[in-house]
């Protein structure tokens, strides 16, 4: 909570500068307003906590707060949040609050579309570390609000041996061996591969999970068959999109990681409206 509040304060400082000269010159300092956050399109909510925190940090003296919960679907015209507060504080914090919630709702909404696209298949839609610096926790929560699951939150959460690690370690077998020797027995080890030959090497080395990077559908199916009967998680990754995500899921992979969930999600169109009280 402290780190989130610090993030909000830094975002407000970035946007306000020395002062909100427009609001402070045109709005009486004791004015209060009724606020409505309204959806202008369908979506899935995420970010309501940070949205409210912006106005708390602005000392808006919030009263009568009401909001739908994160993870809930909404339709165009729905009221997402309502409250009363100091008008100056509301107007000064408006853009920062909207930037947070529109982006995070966008992540949740896009994630929900991917989850819906693979409905009925035994596969999980997963995010990546391709997140906006300093708001990863919020973006990964938005993925969860949209029905997806989280990959590593940071580099300490698990071993993922990628192409450059393999080069630096002198091959897949050596990289996995060094990882096993350098971590505790509960740590999982994943290896990223770009070919079926590398897949076989990772399987032989005893990887707990294998990431298929930019492989064709036929290669994915082949990899799944080669892993039959083995306790290994197979993850598909690389340039995933809504147009072919179901075909990828139908290959039998266990997880599909989609960087676009966080780095390319369009914002959801929301509107903040006030009325003097």
The rounded distance, in Å, linking the Cα atoms of 201 and 170 is: 13
Do residues 152 and 98 share a domain? Answer: no
Known catalytic residue at 275: no
Contact 113, 242 (CB under 8 A): yes
- Exactly one of 20, 127, 190, 192 is catalytic; name it: 192
How many domains, in total, are found in the chain?
2
Structure tokens, 94 = 């408006």
pLDDT band at 263; cut points 50, 70, 90: very high
Mean pLDDT value of segment 158-176 = 98
The catalytic residue among 127, 213, 219, 235 is 213
Residue 146 above 80 pLDDT? yes
**Residues 130-145, mean pLDDT to the nearest whole number:** 97
pLDDT value of position 266:
98
Q: At what angle do helices 196-205 and 217-226 cross, to 10 degrees?
A: 30
Radius of gyration of the chain (CA): 23
Domain with residue 59: its CATH number is 3.90.1170.20
CATH of residue 133: 3.20.20.70
pLDDT, average across residues 113-127: 98
**262 burial class (0-12, 13-18, 19+ CB within 10 angstroms)?**
buried
Residues 221 and 160 grouped into a single domain: yes
Residues 197, 270, single domain; the answer is: no
Q: What is the pLDDT of residue 1?
A: 65
Annotation says 162 is catalytic: yes
Same domain, 97 and 157: no
Residue 127 sits in the same domain as residue 145: yes
Q: Which of 36, 95, 113, 188 is catalytic?
A: 95
84 an active-site residue?
A: no
Judge if 81 and 147 occupy the same domain.
no
> For this structure, is 95 an active site residue?
yes
In this model, does residue 12 exceed pLDDT 90? yes
66 and 155 inside one domain: no
Percentage of the residues of the chain whose pLDDT score is greater than 70: 100
Report pLDDT digits (tens) over 197-229. Answer: 999 999 999 999 999 999 999 999 999 999 999
- Of the candidates 36, 136, 162, 221, the residue annotated as catalytic is 162
pTM for this predicted structure: 0.96
Q: Answer whether 208's CB lies under 8 Å from 229's CB.
A: no
Q: Which of 9, 129, 130, 136 is catalytic?
A: 130
Question: What is the tens place of the pLDDT at every residue in 24-34?
Answer: 999 999 999 99
Say yes or no: 119 and 40 in one domain: no
Residues 105 and 202 in one domain: no
One domain, residues 106 and 174: no
The answer to whether residue 192 is catalytic is: yes
**What pLDDT score was predicted for residue 2?**
73
Same-domain status, 86 and 146 = no
d(CA 242, CA 118): 10
Mean pLDDT for all residues in the chain:
97
Mean pLDDT to the nearest integer, 158-180: 97
> Where in the sequence is the domain holding 216, given as residue range(s)?
115-263
Q: Which pLDDT value is given to residue 45?
A: 98
pLDDT interval class at 44 (50, 70, 90): very high
Sort 137 into a burial class: Cβ within 10 Å, 0-12 / 13-18 / 19+.
middle
Q: How far is CA 199 from the centre of its chain?
A: 28
| 3-class SS of residue 76 | coil
Question: Is there a single domain that holds both residue 102 and residue 133?
Answer: no
Whether 103 and 45 have beta carbons less than 8 Å apart is answered as no
């Amino acid at each position: 909570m402290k780190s989130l509040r610090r993030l909000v304060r830094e975002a407000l400082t970035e946007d306000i500068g020395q002062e909100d000269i427009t609001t402070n010159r045109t709005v009486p300092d004791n004015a209060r307003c009724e606020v409505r956050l309204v959806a202008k399109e369908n979506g899935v909510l995420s970010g309501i906590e940070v949205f409210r925190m912006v106005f708390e940090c602005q000392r808006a003296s919030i009263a009568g707060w009401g909001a739908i919960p994160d993870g809930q679907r909404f339709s165009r015209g729905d009221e997402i949040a309502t409250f009363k507060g100091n008008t100056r504080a509301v107007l000064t914090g408006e853009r920062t609050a909207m930037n947070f919630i529109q982006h995070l709702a966008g992540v949740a909404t896009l994630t929900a579309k991917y989850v819906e696209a693979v409905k009925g298949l035994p596969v999980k839609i997963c995010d990546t570390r391709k997140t906006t610096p300093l708001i990863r926790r919020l973006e990964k929560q938005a993925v969860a609000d949209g029905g997806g699951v989280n990959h590593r939150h940071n580099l300490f959460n698990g071993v993922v041996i990628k192409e450059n690690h393999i080069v630096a370690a002198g091959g897949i077998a050596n990289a996995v061996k060094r990882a096993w020797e350098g971590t505790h027995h509960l740590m999982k080890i994943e290896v990223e591969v770009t070919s079926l030959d590398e897949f076989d090497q990772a399987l032989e080395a005893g990887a707990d999970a294998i990431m298929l990077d930019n492989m064709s559908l036929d290669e994915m199916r082949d990899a799944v068959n080669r892993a039959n009967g083995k306790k290994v998680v197979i993850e598909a990754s690389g340039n995933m999109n809504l147009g072919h995500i179901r075909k990828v899921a139908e290959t039998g992979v266990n997880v599909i990681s989609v960087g676009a969930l966080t780095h390319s999600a369009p914002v959801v169109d929301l509107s903040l409206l006030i009325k003097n009280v």
